[in-house]
Amino acid sequence: MNLQHHKNSISESGFTVINTIFSDEEIDKIIHVLENIDTSKETFRKSEDLFAIRQFLKEIPEVNELIFNENIKIIIKDIFGDKYVAVKSIYFDKPEKSNWYVAYHQDLTISVDKKLELPNFGPWTTKQNQFAVQPPLDILENIFTIRIHLDDTDENNGALKVVPQSHAKGIYRPETIDWNVETEKICNVEKGGIMIMKPLLLHGSNRTTNGKKRRVIHIEFSDRELPEELNWSERMN
């Protein structure tokens, strides 16, 4: 894999798509695990439009060895760096009939193990005893997100739409997007492919119109230690 082009694309545009990272067989094994889990846990979010599992790698530990195949390990090491570890993971299932629409936004919070009064950390939110906080900008700028696609995804079943280069503009309020200056790009990803993005990249997705599933595993990586007694709640080496 020649990853330099993808590395450049992430730093310049804020994202890249790399297909054929997982074989069909590997994806089918991941799907098999997902289809056989107990979905009654309170960390699982269920509605007609969305099924989501927070703290995915912790909740479903048997997927870890399937997800971290040789290709993913090489990508983390060569594109991110030696010290990067997973610090947050979510599984999203946007069903065939979903009307789930996601407006443009940045991913501005990290998951931590407790609430502490720290300079430049805040605002805080707590859901089901899980703590999320907006950290200082340099921590956000350092994170990489990998989105693993378990289905072919295009604009008809909720592929991400992004604003290229918006990741380099700090906190960017979506309502201030000037479409005379900015462009929109739809990120089609094949089953078994990945999209890598920076969390500050403005992104959203449209409703599903083609009756096809869109299942995505979202994993965030950082090489930072948090200050004082604060820890990443999902840190996994």
Percent of the chain with pLDDT over 70: 99
State the burial class of residue 121 (Cβ atoms within 10 Å of its Cβ: 0-12, 13-18, 19+).
buried
pLDDT tens-place string over residues 189-211: 999 999 999 999 999 999 888 98
Residue 17 half-sphere exposure toward CB, CA atoms < 13 A: 19
pLDDT tens-place string over residues 21-51: 999 999 999 999 999 888 777 768 777 777 8
pLDDT at 18 over 80: yes
CA-to-CA distance for 98 and 153, rounded, in angstroms?
A: 14
- H helix or E strand, kind and range, residue 220: strand 214-222
- pTM of the shown model: 0.95
pLDDT tens-place string over residues 152-185: 999 999 899 999 999 999 999 999 999 999 999 9
CA-to-CA distance for 23 and 144, rounded, in angstroms?
A: 23
pLDDT tens-place string over residues 83-123: 999 999 999 988 777 777 889 999 999 999 999 999 999 99
- H helix or E strand, kind and range, residue 15: strand 15-18
**What domains lie within the chain, and their CATH numbers?**
4-222 (2.60.120.620)
Among 154, 155, 119, 151, residue whose Cα is nearest residue 134? 119
pLDDT at 4 over 80: yes
1 or 148, which is more confident? 148
CA-to-CA distance for 134 and 97, rounded, in angstroms?
A: 33
